[in-house]
Amino acid sequence: MNGAPRCAPGETISRHEGRTRATAMRVNRFRHGGICSSAQIARREEYRLQPLPADTNPAHEIPELLTRNRRSRRRTLFGQTLGVSAALFTGVGLASAQEVPPSEEPDPGSDPGTDAPLTDAPAEVPVPEPAAPVFAGIEPITSFAYGMQAHLYYQDVPRTVSLVTEAGFGWVKQQVRWSDVEPVRGSPDWSQIDLIVAGANLVGAKILFSVVTAPGWSRSDGKVDGPPDDYAQFGIFLTKLATRYLGKVHAYEVWNEQNFSREWGGGKIDAGKYVELLAIAYAALKAVDPNVVVISGALTPTGFNDPNIAIDDVVYIQQMYDYKNGLIKTVCDAVGAHAGGFNNPPDDTPTKKSVPSTNFKGHPSFYFRRIEGLREIMILRGESEKMMWITEFGWSTLNKAKGYEYGIDVTEADQAKYLTRAIEIGRGYGWVGGMFVWNLNFQVIVPDTDEKWPFGIVRKDYSPRPAYTALKALPKIP
């Protein structure tokens, strides 16, 4: 046929090798001998490559890209017609790019569905380099995080988070209780978190998850709120969590107020053990997304030192830095803190009093600017470049909760003024990377006898309290 050479007598090429030969005339031979056009070779190879190995990972199967389109004869051998890099097919049963060159278009003068050979000898077509893999994680966080903590479980998530974004705040914080997600070992229920992540992403909010409370099956005493007996189990859970929401969750706070016994399983408080837990968490999260922000669990200002009840936050942060010669420096991107003001304005200090109330005065833990004491420890330990994230700050108003009677000293107008001023102070420090108002919507969730109720900045019907209106009007400087 047209003088093209046939296979030499006895010459065969294994069909299973799938190896093509490019001669000067671009003629390919199969074991049956004779001449085949490039179009025919592509069709045969296309059919040969469709079956996937039995052990193929279903998550990587791309059967639609390997299905032959009989009508258009569009070849998907290297994903060319679909704009997909050959690199995507690695491990899905395709031969390597070096083994199988791209198929050619048939000669315009011949029927692509016949066995007619090519009449010309086109130049060798170079194999394109596989495209670089696309990183599916987040972009590095470089701007100040204006945030609000909300309760989003079983709520209208887009509506609730829209309150955050409409106020000019770009972040929402949600606590994730491991004990609620995986009460049965190996059977996590992601349904509510799926809705939370999808709803927040829908309205363009970044997400901070504060992950706490080991399930009973992971603790020998069967209790929750504390860490697991085997810290590696926490790492396994965080790996699953971060992998499921890769590119959708931007920061993780590892535990909450671990200097308070109630948050540490009711047992003896131990800063060293917490740092070990943090190290496991940091490694797990960073292995999934190197750009995600990992924040140490925020400390609560207690002003009290009994390891069976509570440890003062400044003392506790010193203990964290003391452990293993400063291991904490390498296992978090930012230090978490909670800044409470009780009934004191954010500019007040133990030596500066601007309000008539007399209770909750004198000790540094009663003031918003207590965080400056934590910062001093960070500087002394060589961590001046590391940021602090204030993952909760807020002021209570008049309420019915026992122990929170001081709220009577803070009017709704005071609450609005204190919150906005606190953000101005924190932003002005230069070492605070983010601030999260406590809280957005707990008046919708809990009764007015709950201590969380008076901190909320929207009412039960979602109408704004003065604090929400003032925060919305606050200029948001990056």
Mean pLDDT of 149-170: 98
Mean pLDDT of 310-339: 98
**pLDDT band, very low/low/confident/very high, at 72 (cuts 50, 70, 90):** very low
Q: What is the CA radius of gyration of the chain?
A: 31
Flag whether 137 is in a domain: no
Flag whether 194 is in a domain: yes
Q: Is the peptide bond before 28 cis (omega within 30 degrees of 0)?
A: no
DSSP 149: E
**Tens-digit pLDDT profile for residues 325-360:** 999 999 999 999 999 899 999 999 999 999 999 999
Mean pLDDT of 259-265: 95
Q: Where are the beta strands (DSSP E) in 119-185?
A: 145-149, 171-177
- Percent of the chain scoring above 90 in pLDDT: 70
Say if residue 97 is in the same domain as residue 242: no
Lowest mean pLDDT among 61-65, 245-249, 269-273, 468-472: 61-65
Question: Residue 80 and residue 97: Cα distance in Å, rounded?
Answer: 12
- Angle of helix 412-429 relative to helix 466-473, nearest 10 degrees, comes to 30
303's tokens: 């002003």
pLDDT at 124: 65
Mean pLDDT of 116-128: 56
Residue 310's CATH number? 3.20.20.80
Which H or E run includes 468?
A: helix 466-473
What's the pTM? 0.74
**Tens-digit pLDDT profile for residues 195-228:** 999 999 999 999 999 999 999 999 999 888 899 9
Contact assessment for residue 56 and residue 62, using Cβ atoms and an 8 Å cutoff:
no
pLDDT at 120: 53
Which H or E run includes 252?
A: strand 251-256
* Closest-CA residue to 299 (of 272, 270, 338): 338
DSSP 400: -
pLDDT at residue 443 tops 90: yes
Contact assessment for residue 463 and residue 173, using Cβ atoms and an 8 Å cutoff:
no
pLDDT at 432: 98
pLDDT at 75: 34
pLDDT at 125: 63
- Work out whether strand 305-306 and strand 310-311 pair parallel, antiparallel, or are unpaired: antiparallel
CA pseudo-torsion sign 403, 408, 413, 418? negative
Flag whether 478 is in a domain: no
pLDDT at 89: 28
Q: Collapsing DSSP states into helix, strand and coil, what is residue 433?
A: strand
Question: Could you give the C-alpha distances from 257 to 86, 204, 263, 373, 443, in angstroms and in order?
Answer: 49, 29, 6, 17, 23
Q: Collapsing DSSP states into helix, strand and coil, what is residue 342?
A: coil
The last residue of a domain, from among 131, 158, 180: 131
Question: Residue 421 and residue 408: Cα distance in Å, rounded?
Answer: 20
Flag whether 352 is in a domain: yes
- Percent of the chain scoring above 70 in pLDDT: 72
Q: Report the amino acid identity of residue 173.
A: K
pLDDT at 267: 84
Contact assessment for residue 363 and residue 326, using Cβ atoms and an 8 Å cutoff:
no
- Angle of helix 371-380 relative to helix 313-322, nearest 10 degrees, comes to 20
**Tens-digit pLDDT profile for residues 349-408:** 999 999 999 999 999 999 999 999 999 999 999 999 999 999 999 999 999 999 999 999
Say if residue 258 is in the same domain as residue 294: yes
pLDDT at 7: 44
Say if residue 433 is in the same domain as residue 363: yes
> How many CA atoms lie within 13 Å of 461's alpha carbon, on the beta-carbon side?
1
Question: Residue 50 and residue 162: Cα distance in Å, rounded?
Answer: 46
Say if residue 277 is in the same domain as residue 244: yes
Say if residue 119 is in the same domain as residue 152: no
Count the Cβ atoms, other than its own, within 10 Å of residue 105: 12
On average, the pLDDT of the chain sits at 81
416's tokens: 């609005």
pLDDT at 26: 37
pLDDT at residue 191 tops 70: yes
pLDDT at residue 54 tops 70: no
Mean pLDDT of 113-125: 51
Flag whether 139 is in a domain: no
Say if residue 66 is in the same domain as residue 202: no
Say if residue 111 is in the same domain as residue 186: no
> How many CA atoms lie within 13 Å of 9's alpha carbon, on the beta-carbon side?
0
Which H or E run includes 277?
A: helix 271-288
pLDDT at residue 289 tops 50: yes
DSSP string, 343-364: TS-TT-BTTB--SS--SS-SSG
Helix count (H) and strand count (E) of the chain? 11, 10
Say if residue 99 is in the same domain as residue 183: no
The residue among 422 and 34 whose pLDDT is bigger is: 422
Question: Residue 145 and residue 198: Cα distance in Å, rounded?
Answer: 20
Flag whether 467 is in a domain: yes
pLDDT at 225: 85
The last residue of a domain, from among 74, 102, 131: 131
Say if residue 101 is in the same domain as residue 246: no
Say if residue 56 is in the same domain as residue 179: no
**How many domains are contained in the chain?**
2
pLDDT at 13: 41
Question: Residue 258 and residue 47: Cα distance in Å, rounded?
Answer: 60
The last residue of a domain, from among 71, 106, 131: 131
Flag whether 136 is in a domain: no
Flag whether 344 is in a domain: yes
In terms of residue numbers, what domain contains 89?
A: 1-131
pLDDT at residue 81 tops 90: no
Contact assessment for residue 169 and residue 148, using Cβ atoms and an 8 Å cutoff:
yes
Say if residue 329 is in the same domain as residue 465: yes
pLDDT at 228: 97
Say if residue 328 is in the same domain as residue 389: yes
* Closest-CA residue to 26 (of 16, 15, 36): 36
Find the DSSP H helices in 75-223.
Answer: 157-166, 178-181, 191-202
